[in-house]
Structure 1
Amino acid sequence: MTGVMGEDGLVPRERSSLPVLCAAGLGLLMLLIAWLLDADKFSERVGMIVFCITVEVFIHGVCLFAEEWLFHSRQRYHGRTNDIFKACFRTHVVLGMFAVFLMLKLGGVSFSREQWSTVVLMCAVYLILKSLRVLSPAPVEISEICEMKKMNVAHGLAWSFYIGYLKFVLPDLQNKVSQYSSTRGKLSSPRLHILLPLNAKVPTKPEEEDTNVAFHENLPELVRDQAGVRKRSYKNSVYKITQDNETFSCVLEYATPLLTLYQMSHESRAGFGERERKQQVLLFYRTLSQILEDSLECRNHYRLVLLNDEHTGDPHYLSREIIQHLKQQDGEIHMDPIQELTNEVHAVPEEGPIGRFNGAQRAIFLEDSMSSDPTLMFSQPNSLRSEPVETTDYFNQPNTRK
């Protein structure tokens, strides 16, 4: 397994409208060819075909209505015939049949015996092919419908993971990290690192996958009443990751819903194979990332680490990828604003090591500091690493000097 830093090449994108545009373009081209081949009877034939298709779809809807009304009216629709009708007939089909009725009864349009025979034959062929599922949607169409309607297993698991856990754990994480750092030491990153292996195999302990990852201790617990359970406890664990005599520490855990996907793939009743499992994991990753990115409470408090299931034989793949993500965060967040602050920061002994300039809180770099690199501190318990946008934008403004 190798971690994936460039997830764009692996995570599937949302499907576009290209098939619809291609079908519409080819349809117009074929209409043009048909008109060039026989312009005299073009309008008559088009009307005949539209009439046949409308009748075919309506008859198939009647078959669906018979099933729902006879066997599922009470259980699924609570006896409401109107709901059954809406479930079996599309609006444009009903309007089309209404137009056909007006055309035949009030418009004075009549078909010859041969034309009626063609209508009956086309309807018969359509219904037979439909019953044999020859005209059923392609697998890619079913997948598109499920993704568009948010009907996949991954969608439900991602929303459950967010609403039932991350929604209240991530906003409180900053306080827990601050409490931990004040007594135990600073973490390499204040974010919660969520591991998502593509094979959905979630070990009980990360140490089972990589000996360079070792459990250190738990953060302070979050206790809350949830789903009838009084004072339910939620814990997050801090792990030490070592590499080349260098040690990092961060809050780490696997995405527990992936364990459900893994177990489903081993249940024959679930109809869930290995290929479907991988697609659902990728869809879970995409859905969860979209949910968290849209959540103002959770933004900048998490890091999704997608792990590929191609094992390269490296026993320390997990530690390598976690450290790579940690270093990437340092590169993204730490903008090295030392040169800009040299002439701007002044000591204010009355207020201690923290001074206020233009309504913002700045660190005072003491000349007798043990480190040659300046240290940026905040009086608030918010971490600089979790707020990269605000600090960076502030230091990059040229008009902040007073």
Structure 2
Amino acid sequence: MPCKEEQPSDISASLIPRPRGNRARHVSYLFLALCVCFLCLTEQSLDLVFHCIVIHFTALQVGALCQGACNFAEELRHVTSRYHGSYLRALNACLELRKRSFLFLLLCGVAYLHLLKESGLPVCRNLIIVCFCQLLNFVFDLQHPSAAEISEMYERNNCNVAQGLAWSYYVGYLKFILPGLKDRIREFNRSNNHLLNCEKTWKLHILIPLSCDMCDDLQTVDSHIHFIKNLPELNVDVAGIKKRSYKNSIYGILSENKEKHFCVMEYATPLRSLFAMSQDESAAFSCQDRLEQAKLFCRALEEILQRSKYCSGCYRLIVYDEPFFLHQKRPDLSVLWELRKSFLSVLMSSACGFRRS
């Protein structure tokens, strides 16, 4: 039978978090509108309202500048190692001069207002009080980003451990393996009676357990999965290593009706690093951190591969949640059985002819 069109790789939306959107900013716009409405209802003088807004906004920024000055005092110790000897770069890292340049204009405007009014002393006193409060926040660490804000910052700037692992996995392995995978499968088929007989399944099936726990031999964790053979080796000159060898394994998966289906399958090996980090106390990497980074690894890897012109149509990510050891206690709830079914649904969707075991 001819192969049907295969659906694109799908990562479960219930498991993998999507990138954060702009809802927080939109809600802030709503609160701003509510504040404006409230000020209008109070029928206050516009001049007074504007003057108060300028004073309070400038006071907040003065407090932030004080905190930046404290940070700059520390960065002076690291100008050579972190900023290549540039004091301006160190100052900009602490104060963000470009973003806050307009604030100095506000300060000048406020100072001008003070010169015109005899009530400048109370305003200056308020600025000093705000600086004092901001410095107290800094000393006692009362004003720091929330966990969600830190996570968003890292994701937006691609600074997560998961981002680095995903990119390393792609540029150091998948970018070598995937482009020539189908040619190696053709070579394998010529000497193995066309074992992989459906071209729609000529993909690298990458197992991604969110627990990051993985076994070295799939046959030891599920009797329905059998190692068949390795594909022909790929030899590449890499980083001074002549003819570095890359291997990929073919496994047979036995279905309920005793039909055996074949695919190229392996774990996403960078997840082993996350698991090892969570087991090492010196890494300060909790199980919750590991789970979050594993999910972000899935999303980052999917995004990288989707954009890659070298890897299109050569991979499938298989994401699952439970650790392997569960199936040893509850055979009827075998995780590998669920994994096997997900493989079979992929392979059988191609509607190719199957080999019976």
Q: TM-score when scaled to structure 2?
A: 0.86
> Is the counterpart of residue 88 in structure 1 residue 82 in structure 2?
no
Query: In structure 2, what is the Cα distance between the partners aligned to 1:257 and 1:180?
Result: 27
Query: In structure 1, what is the Cα distance between the partners aligned to 2:116 and 2:139?
Result: 31
* CA separation of 1:213 and 1:325: change in aligned 2, threshold 3 A: closer
Query: In structure 1, what is the Cα distance between the partners aligned to 2:116 and 2:344?
Result: 75
TM-superposed CA distance for 1:101, in Å, is 2.8
Kindly report which structure 2 residues correspond to 1:1-400, keeping only aligned pairs within 5 A, or say none. 7-37=12-42, 39-40=44-45, 41-69=48-76, 71-90=77-96, 91-101=98-108, 103-104=110-111, 108-110=115-117, 111-184=119-192, 185-187=194-196, 189-244=201-256, 245-309=258-322, 311=326, 313-314=330-331, 316-331=334-349, 333=350
TM-superposed CA distance for 1:214, in Å, is 1.5
- Please list the CA deviations of residues 136-171 of structure 1 after superposition, one character each: whole Å capped at 9, or x if unmatched: 111000000000000000000000000000011001
Query: In structure 2, what is the Cα distance between the partners aligned to 1:321 and 1:298?
Result: 23
TM-superposed CA distance for 1:318, in Å, is 2.1
TM-superposed CA distance for 1:94, in Å, is 3.0
Q: What amino acid maps onto 2:13 in structure 1?
A: D
Tell me, what secondary structure is at the counterpart of 1:272?
Answer: coil
TM-superposed CA distance for 1:215, in Å, is 1.2
Partner of 1:357: none
TM-superposed CA distance for 1:259, in Å, is 0.2
Q: What amino acid maps onto 1:80 in structure 2?
A: S
Tell me, what secondary structure is at the counterpart of 1:9?
Answer: coil
Q: TM-score when scaled to structure 1?
A: 0.77
Relative contact order, higher structure (CA 8 A, sep 6+): 2
Tell me, what secondary structure is at the counterpart of 1:83?
Answer: helix
Deviates more, 1:242-251 or 1:139-148: 242-251
- Please list the CA deviations of residues 104-162 of structure 1 after superposition, one character each: whole Å capped at 9, or x if unmatched: 26994455222221111111112211332221111000000000000000000000000
* CA separation of 1:96 and 1:320: change in aligned 2, threshold 3 A: closer
Q: Give ranges in structure 1 of 5+ residues lacking alignment.
A: 337-370, 372-402
8 Å contact from structure 2 (residues 55, 110) kept in 1: no
Tell me, what secondary structure is at the counterpart of 2:179?
Answer: helix
* CA separation of 1:160 and 1:51: change in aligned 2, threshold 3 A: same
Tell me, what secondary structure is at the counterpart of 2:306?
Answer: helix
Query: In structure 1, what is the Cα distance between the partners aligned to 2:143 and 2:264?
Result: 51
8 Å contact from structure 1 (residues 243, 320) kept in 2: no
- Please list the CA deviations of residues 177-235 of structure 1 after superposition, one character each: whole Å capped at 9, or x if unmatched: 00111111322621111101010001111112212112111110000111111111000
**Over the residues paired in the alignment, what is the CA RMSD in angstroms?**
2.4
Q: What amino acid maps onto 1:235 in structure 2?
A: K
Give the number of equivalent residue pairs.
332
Query: In structure 2, what is the Cα distance between the partners aligned to 1:11 and 1:301?
Result: 21
Query: In structure 1, what is the Cα distance between the partners aligned to 2:236 and 2:107?
Result: 62
Percent identical pairs in the alignment equals 31
TM-superposed CA distance for 1:328, in Å, is 2.7
TM-superposed CA distance for 1:48, in Å, is 1.2
Q: Give ranges in structure 2 of 5+ residues lacking alignment.
A: 1-8
